[in-house]
Amino acid sequence: MLENLAPYISIIFIITTCITIFLFYKASHSSKTALSLIIIWASIQAILGYSSFYLDTSLPPRFGLAIILPVLFIILLFFIQKGKTFISKLDIKILTLLHIIRIPVEFVLYWLFLHQSIPELMTFSGRNFDILAGITAPFVYYFGYIHKITSPKFLLGWNLACLFLLLFIVVNAILSFPFPFQQFGFDQPNVALLYFPFVWLASVVVPIVLFSHLVSIQYLSKQLKILK
């Protein structure tokens, strides 16, 4: 556990992670299989984070397991038949609304920076503009899917832009870890994400957000082809 960290930071992040999982559960039409897999994975990551497993930063860094495995699973879903079927049934509206969780995540990151647990570049006072995705998400949800004022092309553009924001900060975060290939944040490395509960950011929250964008991009791309 991180020392001298205000308890409210961990509590808010745990609640944010739970909301993320709940919204994805609703988007999957209450799929118990999806929920069970996420809970099992999150539990494993909680144990590894709490037991200091990820504090070994030698090559290859153990933390790679928290990032690479979810990404490989997401890729697999887009290629196997069961995965394609699951994706086709997801509620795009809820997947869009889900991005509001990026607001509390950004505040948690800022508080972690103030507690000298991550570099400033990972916050909205640095080079992290991901909070814009969270702020705009409810408007895109309302005007794009409830009142259907915005076009599929705009919705696709929004998802692509927000995906870029996500990938940009993910790359910066990875290069700020105290690994041998570290490039940023030498005065204040990204150590918080190696601990519970913040290990859930890279292993649970970000993969769900990434998957939500990829599913929406695929759906909207197909819509645009049909309209043509």
- pLDDT, one tens digit per residue, over 203-224 is 999 999 999 999 999 999 999 8
Tokens of 228: 């043509």
pLDDT at residue 121 in the model: 97
Which residues make Cβ contacts (< 8 Å) with residue 33, sequence separation at least 6? none
Whether 191 shows a pLDDT value over 80: the answer reads yes
Percentage of residues in the chain having pLDDT higher than 90: 94
| One-letter amino acid for residue 123 of the chain | T
pLDDT at residue 1 in the model: 66
Q: Using the CB atoms, write b or e for 88-121: b if 16+ within 10 Å.
A: eebbbebbbbbbbbbbbbbbbbbbbbeeebbbbb
Average pLDDT, the chain: 96
With a threshold of 0.85, does the pTM exceed it?
yes
Q: Where would I find the H helices in the chain?
A: 7-27, 32-50, 64-77, 81-88, 92-97, 102-114, 131-141, 152-174, 199-200, 206-227
Residue-wise pLDDT for 62-109, tens only, equals 999 999 999 999 999 999 999 999 999 999 999 999 999 999 999 999
Per-residue confidence at 2, pLDDT binned at 50, 70, 90? confident
pLDDT at residue 206 in the model: 98
